[in-house]
């Protein structure tokens, strides 16, 4: 590569790489005294309960003892510390289900204890994505369990979906306090409308917004979003060039954005973005993984994935988390993920991946059939959900 650069310079040409490695600062884990785990054993699955097609788990930012399980057909179930359940929200009459559609995730506002605001991502009866805010009320003097205020639904965003698949589906508050929203490329196959590289549409992107109303608009645009001043570009966009970012997460210690982007025919990929507000292009549909895909598109300086795997190892990546639960010694400092078809929990050292080389991707030794999602609670504990019904917490063996 160095020789090539010299030759190009000598010819008076400026090399413009089509795809690059991850531009992430080199960091060291284990500075707190907890060494990075080896990813081998030491972990068990503790059953939280069984639900109807669970796809996510959430918890308010200040924790508490209750968990909230999102069911794809359109319900959110509150689970207390004794395992007792009650319906927290039921919008099944508004949701199209199932396949890749349904009620797909929820997120509590950072000031939830004061404002009572939370957000859901679902596909409506017409199959379009909706991001909707709800509010809760509590009993007298703030006592008693939360209850959703009737009629409090406020639609922030509606995105037309041309096909039934690749809806993305995750809403999550980042460490910056902004609401991040994952959207797939609109579906079908091969990105027929070339949405991934088109900055004038929201499909195939991860968005970043302030969910509070701004003037007569239902949400605000953070001033430091990367495309606020680019003519023709949607200012909500933070990251683009995605096929279907079903699940993404932020490393709670480093702030790195990790994305599991579901592939087309050959490659599933995991991406790591050091500067999530830097307008990073992840390459789809000019690329699938590291390989060229649609030859009629270009994506100069697209950020390459940190890990890819082929169809012999799965069918649909389920993105996870960099584990920061110190009780899980074998997983600490490692990125945990799985594949929906294989169900095998796997991990690799995060710090190796973000400087460009995954050297120890390996199986943990646990299976979650039909795994739909991972989740992280306020304490950093990790959960895994199965479309077959179980929700598990990862605990020391």
Whether the CA torsion 186, 188, 193, 195 is positive or negative: it is positive
Rounded CA-CA distance 318/316 in Å is 7
Place 65 in a pLDDT band, splitting at 50, 70 and 90: confident
Domain 22-396 falls under CATH 3.30.200.20: no
Q: Are strands 85-90 and 75-79 parallel, antiparallel or unpaired?
A: antiparallel
**How many CB atoms sit inside 10 A of residue 69's CB?**
26
Task: List beta partners, residue 77.
Answer: 69, 87
Rounded CA-CA distance 329/95 in Å is 40
Q: Which of 200, 269, 275 lies closest to 239, judged by CA?
A: 275
Report the chain's C-alpha Rg in angstroms. Answer: 21
Is the pTM above the cut of 0.85? Answer: yes
Place of tokens 């490329």: 185
For residue 285, say if its preceding peptide bond is cis, omega within 30 degrees of 0: yes
Q: Is the pLDDT of residue 384 over 50?
A: yes
Q: Which of 172, 169, 170, 179 lies closest to 210, judged by CA?
A: 179
Question: Please, are residues 66 and 78 in contact by the beta-carbon 8 Å criterion?
Answer: yes
233 or 300, which is more confident? 233
Q: What is the mean pLDDT of residues 51-79?
A: 95
Q: Quick one: pLDDT at residue 98?
A: 94
Rounded CA-CA distance 243/205 in Å is 8
Q: Quick one: pLDDT at residue 60?
A: 95
Q: Is the pLDDT of residue 24 over 80?
A: no
DSSP code at position 354: H
Q: Is the pLDDT of residue 47 over 80?
A: yes
Contacts of 143 (CB under 8 A, 6+ apart): none
Question: Please, are residues 47 and 390 in contact by the beta-carbon 8 Å criterion?
Answer: yes
Q: Is the pLDDT of residue 48 over 90?
A: yes
Place of tokens 């579901």: 262
Q: Quick one: pLDDT at residue 143?
A: 64
Q: Quick one: pLDDT at residue 356?
A: 72
Q: What is the mean pLDDT of residues 168-172?
A: 98
- Worst-scoring range by mean pLDDT, 106-120, 135-149, 327-341, 354-368? 135-149
Taking only the tens place, the pLDDT of each residue in 336-370 is 999 999 999 999 999 998 887 899 999 999 999 99
Q: Quick one: pLDDT at residue 235?
A: 98
Q: Quick one: pLDDT at residue 25?
A: 37
Q: Is the pLDDT of residue 380 over 50?
A: yes
Taking only the tens place, the pLDDT of each residue in 274-315 is 999 999 999 999 999 999 999 999 998 899 999 999 999 999
What 3-state class would DSSP assign to 6?
A: helix
What 3-state class would DSSP assign to 140?
A: helix
186 or 20, which is more confident? 186
Q: Quick one: pLDDT at residue 2?
A: 41
Q: What is the mean pLDDT of residues 146-174?
A: 97
Rounded CA-CA distance 369/217 in Å is 42
For residue 98, say if its preceding peptide bond is cis, omega within 30 degrees of 0: yes
């Amino acid at each position: 590569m160095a020789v090539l650069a010299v030759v190009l310079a000598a010819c008076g040409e400026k090399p413009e790489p089509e795809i690059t490695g991850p531009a992430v600062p080199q960091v060291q884990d284990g500075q707190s005294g907890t060494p990075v785990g080896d990813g081998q054993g030491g972990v068990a699955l503790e059953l939280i309960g069984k639900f109807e097609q669970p796809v996510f788990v959430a918890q308010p930012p200040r924790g508490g003892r209750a968990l909230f399980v999102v069911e794809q057909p359109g319900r959110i179930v509150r689970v207390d510390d004794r395992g007792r359940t009650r319906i927290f929200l039921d919008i099944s009459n508004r949701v199209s289900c199932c396949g890749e559609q349904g009620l797909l995730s929820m997120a509590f506002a950072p000031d939830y204890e004061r404002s009572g605001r939370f957000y859901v991502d679902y596909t409506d009866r017409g199959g379009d994505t909706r991001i909707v805010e709800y509010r809760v009320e509590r009993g007298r003097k703030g006592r008693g369990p939360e209850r959703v205020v009737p009629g409090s639904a406020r639609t922030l965003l509606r995105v037309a979906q041309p096909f039934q698949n690749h809806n993305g589906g995750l809403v999550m508050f980042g460490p910056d306090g902004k609401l991040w929203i994952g959207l797939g490329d609109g579906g079908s196959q091969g990105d027929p409308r070339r949405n991934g590289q088109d900055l004038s549409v929201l499909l195939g992107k991860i968005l970043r917004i302030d969910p509070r109303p701004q003037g007569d608009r239902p949400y605000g645009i953070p001033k430091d979003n990367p495309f606020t001043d680019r003519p023709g570009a949607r200012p909500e966009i933070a990251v683009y060039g995605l096929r279907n970012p079903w699940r993404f997460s932020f490393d709670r210690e480093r702030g790195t954005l990790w994305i599991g982007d579901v592939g087309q025919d050959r490659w599933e990929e995991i991406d790591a973005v050091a500067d999530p507000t830097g307008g990073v292009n992840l390459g789809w549909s000019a690329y699938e993984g590291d390989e060229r895909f649609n030859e009629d598109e270009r994506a100069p300086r697209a950020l390459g994935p940190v890990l890819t795997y082929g169809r012999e190892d799965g069918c649909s990546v389920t993105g996870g988390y960099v584990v920061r639960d110190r009780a899980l010694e074998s997983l600490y400092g490692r990125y945990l993920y799985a594949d929906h078809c294989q169900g095998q929990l796997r991990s690799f050292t995060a710090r190796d991946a973000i400087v460009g080389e995954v050297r120890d991707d390996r199986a943990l030794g646990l299976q979650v059939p039909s795994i739909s999602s991972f989740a992280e609670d306020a304490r950093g504990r990790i959960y895994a959900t199965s479309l077959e019904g179980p929700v598990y917490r990862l605990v020391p063996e």
